[in-house]
């Protein structure tokens, strides 16, 4: 510590200086009056001033006044031969904390110096902490105040000024930028470079950075363009942001209200998606619907029919129709979520898959969806997954049904096999059998049956060359001989007789 002792009595001054030097490693200076003291203070800027009151040229109180004006950080101790209350009272008015009377005892001097030294060290510690954490303290104060949703008081604005937070204006707006994942503070700070005119920023959470912007009225449109620049910057990153912009006001007291506006504006992403800039002026006046969406039973049945018929294109169309209504009517995200869960559960029930509901995490399936659009995408994805399983099972069933039909044909091809007869054997409708058979084999069931019979006819002709052709036709199941000849020639390129003659 640098200590200046001002005393016009040389012996007293020298004694105090010598005593202080014995106490600790202090730089101690002496002066005979206030004027000499000021000259030394200009050069050395002492931490502690110990001064007598009555001195020639400039007395102690004049020196104290000059010290308060020019060296506000210097702590002062008064040294006087008078135990006068008026002296003490006047000294207190100038911020003097210690008052020593002559003759000064060494213990009293030590006590006073230690007390003042501790005050100085405490202040330096606080100043150092503030210097190192200035931005953090400012942001924490802003976070607390801005989330109050009330007008700022004059006391709060004074506190802001003490923290080095200056709102210059003349107009203000607040921007809230929300990230889709926790973002590092330095990355958030980098984004601020795009927001020209920003005064101070704070982090309401690890997913959000908010900025108070000083807005010169003539540059409002220019600042809006900067939001888009910030948005474009993040497109090359592994995260997305959504920006909410408040209105513009000329009152510092309304800053917390502006922050609320910015957050409300940003929440439009629920309906229109992320990675966009939303202004509070764009918000609809209608209140958000906070009851379960009312969807007509007709649409619900149509959705179920699409699932049953595996009609994905029409299913997506119906789902899109429903979600457009959600956006238009401003249903809350929670209620849209609940409806999506309900329609998904109903689809499992309608498709006779209730046993799978136990494996379906109904609470988590839409948990990460923070927009209506994302819920729609997730729901369609869940339906696609359901249809894939249904299709896989259908393929397996279809394969088995077709194979059963073929097995029956091979055993009974000589009989009259109408489509209705074959369908009856596998317990399905003729139309469905015809449909799945062609899907599996690539040809109609009748074509496949005729082809099989022709192959059997070729074998019979080889084994029974003396048989007349009408007998061959009847043997392989053709009751109409002319039809047999026509089908045979179409299949082989020869008539049955030509086929036999070529093999003699």
What residue ranges do the domains of the chain occupy? Answer: 2-131, 135-281, 297-390, 396-502
Query: Which residues, at least 6 apart from 270, have a Cβ–Cβ distance to it below 8 Å?
Result: 333, 370, 371, 372
pLDDT given at position 338: 85
Q: What span, in angstroms and rounded, lies between the C-alpha atoms of 371 and 358?
A: 26
Q: Is the dihedral of CA 71, 77, 82, 85 positive or negative?
A: positive
Q: CA geometry: angle at 227 spanning 222 and 232, to 5°?
A: 120
Task: Name the CATH topology of 396-502.
Answer: Arc Repressor Mutant, subunit A (1.10.10)
Q: Is 159 exposed, middle or buried (0-12, 13-18, 19+ CB in 10 A)?
A: middle
**CATH code of the domain made up of 135-281:** 3.30.70.270
Buried residues in 95-113 as b, exposed as e (16+ CB within 10 A): ebebbbbeebeeeebeebb
pLDDT given at position 220: 53
pLDDT averages per 10-residue partition of the chain, 504 residues: 92 90 85 92 92 86 89 88 64 78 84 90 78 76 82 84 79 87 78 72 86 68 67 79 87 87 87 85 64 80 88 92 88 86 86 72 68 89 84 72 92 91 87 86 93 94 91 93 93 91 77
pLDDT given at position 218: 43
Token pair, residue 426, equals: 């596998």
397, 400, 403, 404: CA torsion to nearest 10: -110
Q: CA geometry: angle at 115 spanning 112 and 118, to 5°?
A: 145
Q: What DSSP letter does each residue of 434-453 carry, written as one string?
A: HHHHHHHHSS-HHHHHHHHH
Task: Name the CATH topology of 2-131.
Answer: Rossmann fold (3.40.50)
Q: What span, in angstroms and rounded, lies between the C-alpha atoms of 268 and 300?
A: 27
Q: Is the dihedral of CA 234, 238, 244, 248 positive or negative?
A: negative
Type and span of the H or E element at 469:
helix 469-475
Q: Is the dihedral of CA 171, 192, 142, 159 positive or negative?
A: negative
Token pair, residue 324, equals: 């457009």
> Is residue 283 within 8 Å of 276, Cβ to Cβ?
no
pLDDT given at position 29: 93
Q: In 227-326, which ranges are E strands?
A: 241-245, 277-279
Q: What is the DSSP letter of 267?
A: T
> Is residue 246 within 8 Å of 174, Cβ to Cβ?
yes
Q: Is the dihedral of CA 243, 248, 253, 257 positive or negative?
A: negative
What does pTM read for this prediction?
A: 0.50
Q: Are strands 48-52 and 241-245 parallel, antiparallel or unpaired?
A: unpaired
Determine the number of helices (DSSP H) and then strands (DSSP E) in the chain: 21, 10
> Is residue 363 within 8 Å of 325, Cβ to Cβ?
no
Question: Do 135-281 and 396-502 come out as alike in CATH topology?
Answer: no
Q: What span, in angstroms and rounded, lies between the C-alpha atoms of 161 and 148?
A: 19
């Amino acid at each position: 510590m640098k200590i200046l002792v001002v005393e016009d009595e040389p012996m007293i001054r020298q004694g105090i200086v010598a005593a202080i030097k014995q106490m600790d490693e202090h730089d101690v200076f002496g002066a005979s009056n206030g004027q000499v003291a000021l000259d030394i203070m200009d050069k050395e800027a002492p931490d502690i001033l110990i001064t007598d009151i009555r001195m020639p040229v400039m007395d102690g109180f004049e020196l104290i006044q000059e010290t308060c004006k020019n060296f506000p950080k210097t702590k002062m101790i008064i040294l006087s031969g008078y135990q006068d209350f008026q002296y003490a009272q006047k000294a207190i008015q100038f911020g003097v904390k210690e008052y020593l009377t002559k003759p000064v005892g060494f213990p009293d001097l030590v006590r006073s110096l230690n007390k003042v030294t501790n005050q100085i060290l405490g202040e330096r510690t606080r100043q150092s902490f503030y210097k190192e954490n200035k931005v953090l303290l400012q942001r924490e104060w802003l976070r607390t105040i801005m989330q109050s949703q009330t007008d700022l008081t004059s006391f709060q604005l004074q506190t802001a000024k003490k923290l080095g937070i200056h709102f210059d204006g003349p107009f203000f707006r607040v921007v809230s930028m929300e990230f889709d994942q926790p973002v590092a503070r330095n990355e958030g700070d980098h984004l601020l470079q795009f927001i020209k005119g920003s005064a101070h920023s704070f982090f309401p959470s690890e997913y959000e950075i908010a900025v108070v912007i000083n807005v010169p009225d003539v540059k409002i449109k220019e600042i809006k363009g900067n939001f888009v620049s910030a948005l474009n910057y993040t497109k090359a990153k592994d995260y997305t942001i959504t920006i909410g912009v408040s209105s513009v006001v000329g009152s510092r007291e309304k800053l917390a209200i502006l922050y609320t506006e910015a957050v409300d504006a940003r929440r439009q992403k629920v309906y229109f998606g992320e990675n966009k800039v939303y202004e509070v002026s764009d918000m609809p006046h209608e209140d958000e619907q906070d009851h379960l969406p009312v969807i007509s039973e007709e649409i619900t049945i149509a959705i179920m029919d699409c699932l049953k018929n595996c009609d994905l294109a029409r299913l997506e169309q119906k789902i899109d129709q429903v979600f457009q209504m959600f956006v238009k009517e401003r249903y809350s995200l929670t209620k849209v979520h609940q409806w999506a869960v309900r329609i998904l559960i109903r689809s499992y029930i309608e498709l006779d898959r209730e046993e799978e509901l136990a494996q379906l995490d109904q609470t988590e399936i839409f948990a990460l969806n923070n927009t209506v659009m994302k819920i729609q995408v997730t729901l369609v994805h869940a339906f696609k997954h359901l249809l894939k399983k249904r299709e896989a099972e259908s393929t397996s069933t279809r394969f088995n049904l077709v194979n059963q039909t073929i097995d029956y044909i091979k055993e009974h091809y000589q009989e009259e096999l109408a489509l209705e007869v074959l369908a009856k054997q596998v317990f399905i409708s003729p139309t469905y059998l015809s449909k799945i058979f062609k899907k599996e084999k690539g040809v109609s069931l009748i074509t496949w049956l005729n082809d099989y019979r022709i192959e059997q006819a070729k074998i019979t002709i080889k084994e029974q060359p003396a048989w007349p052709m009408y007998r061959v036709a009847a043997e392989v199941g053709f009751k109409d001989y002319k039809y047999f000849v026509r089908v045979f020639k179409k299949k082989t390129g020869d008539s049955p007789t030509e086929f036999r003659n070529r093999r003699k």
